[in-house]
Structure 1
């Protein structure tokens, strides 16, 4: 995908959706604050990419590795006018758990990564090799070997115990009630007052609790749910216009704008990548 601004992206997705990869160069593109249901491991090839994650600002320069846990809210943009080029792979938690179980020959706990940016040439080299194999059409056996090596090295060299403080019990309850309401009917046009009533608090208390628990506003979270639903429909082959109408977006262009801001590729590029598998 090229958009005429110097930005481009190439995307790959496995048949089951448990593994995704993207190679991209962004100068003007700005990621809206979002999260993934997956682990996301990236390596910056050129330039500097800046983002906020877990309440702090970070910059990944050439050769550095990015590590996001599932549901880690973050944004992203070029740190300067020259832009940045990076490779990133997204791995479903079940896939990671299965790889770790194979390595340890027993059921393994899911890892957590404390540092969103790592300066580790070994991890960078492993990620580049895995990424090149995925986008380059390497044989399945080779891909699986590189996947095992990459996940194993990420866990050995970078996984840590969680350091994020737990939200107070009352705050967590408010956020969970609101989250359940949004998950129960993500296409509903829910006013703030109604969501606050479902959570049992004021609108201000709801926003503060939700932001603390999930790292984003309720409206951003709802949009993310709709975009994830759109991804599933696109992967099943649904026409983009129908997907837009079926997931709460005004039209195809509205879906496309937000899809790019969250995932870095257009709905059409995502759909084609899945169809080519």
Structure 2
């Protein structure tokens, strides 16, 4: 039962894949909306930018992306994300409790630890060139900073793939991420996508994590598509190095 709960949590964090070119510099047209079963809600703004909001209320975060001047053949953009994990981490001390912090058998963080008020800010620059027909390549790099009201105990980590590197910024104060994405049309409504991301966590018990995803995409139209594939995760954790392979699936809608 606890394994099932962990799998649900991993899917909720959202490792199924980006929405329509979310990892690329392309921005949503004004007034367009997109959402996925496991991915964020996105909306195009009138000023040529876009905003995305995590729909899982326990882990609120907001992202903003806008374009930069072109660099040679590269379309450029930058994004910034603000996240507030305190509610989610307190809930994980008592997923089935009557109040935050009450322990039970599904706790992923021991209730002996105090979870302070925390906030993180992540900034990223990305460049994209090519077309979906010939191949769309994107590279990106960013820096995250954690802001804690009080020091968070190092033993209060959630030592699970995907989750550990994303929360490490609250324990170490700093997260560095670099990655690349490739998207190409196969034929008709069929596309494929691969991506690679590297997380560097200076000062942590786990110093790095690597993630690779491969997806086959069937796009009915601009209103619906299905993504199916895998996600490979490898990295260091407080207890040692491990690698994991997960299925990746999402159903995404646009209007």
**TM-score between both structures, scaled by the size of structure 1:** 0.25
Q: Which has the higher helix share?
A: 1
Higher relative contact order (CA 8 A, sep 6+): 1
